[in-house]
Amino acid sequence: MNPPALKPLLITGGSRGIGRATALQAGAQGWAVGVNYVGDAVSAEATVETIRAAGGQAMAIRGDVSVESDVVAMFEAVQRAFGPLQGLVVNAGVVAPLSKLADMELARLKRMFDVNVLGAYLCAREGARAMSRDRGGHGGSIVLVSSGAARLGSPFEFIDYAGSKGAVDTLTLGLAKELAGEGVRVNAVRPGPIRTDIHASGGQPDRAERVGATTPMGRAGEAEEVAEAITWFLSDAASYVTGALLDVTGGR
């Protein structure tokens, strides 16, 4: 069964930061991009228009990754528009203000794990269903966006976020083995201090610069640098790579 002419790709949390940078690079490389967002429709549409203006194909798709019906609907939408899925970037995630675990409320923990863990598992599940050859798919690539925090633990800062990304790492390792015989590669990128809006949402707009200065490379990273790693995993250049956890952390 030959793959479709278009290369349909869904990126969760694709309207800003690493997701947007990945969407723009993927669009330029010939992917038809579904740009998922949950609240910022303006940024999502701006990302889509930028891809289209450069000659690519894209669409904005609203959906909360922690809600199963939303996840199912977004996969249906991108495939209805562009055809059978060939790529998935599980990028949507949240962070919260600095805190020690002893001071964290249940509501914070629940939101963190609902979005970052349950959301990742639901999206990866739907990606597996859509792309696995034993289910009629054409194969493809799943890239999960984890974090260097998964191996550092982020004590006194985001121990809950770090734990949620540890779950993403484990999902990557296990799912890669489940899907290797079905033509689907599964890998993860673990960014370090990257200049994106997520730091401001956690109450530390200067965190990337502050932490980046302590890395061996002495600087914060750019979203485009992480996107390069993600789009490499999506591409045929990574055809023999699955179950990999790639740090993009400036050596941290």
Positions annotated as catalytic residues are 161
SS3 207: helix
Concatenating the DSSP letter of every residue in 52-98 gives HHTT-EEEEEE--TTSHHHHHHHHHHHHHHH-S--EEEE-------S
CB 190 within 8 A of CB 142: no
Q: For the chain, how big is the Rg over CA atoms in Å?
A: 17
Q: What are phi and psi of 8, to 5 degrees?
A: -70, 135
Using alpha carbons, select from 233, 149, 127, 133 the residue that is nearest to residue 187.
Answer: 233
DSSP 3-state percent helix, strand, coil across the chain (nearest 5): 50, 20, 30
Angstrom distance (rounded) from CA 60 to CA 43 = 10
Q: Hunting for tokens 């947007």 — which residue is that?
A: 20
Residues 6+ away with beta carbon under 8 Å from 213: 219, 220
CB 85 within 8 A of CB 127: yes
Read off the tokens for 246: 């790639």
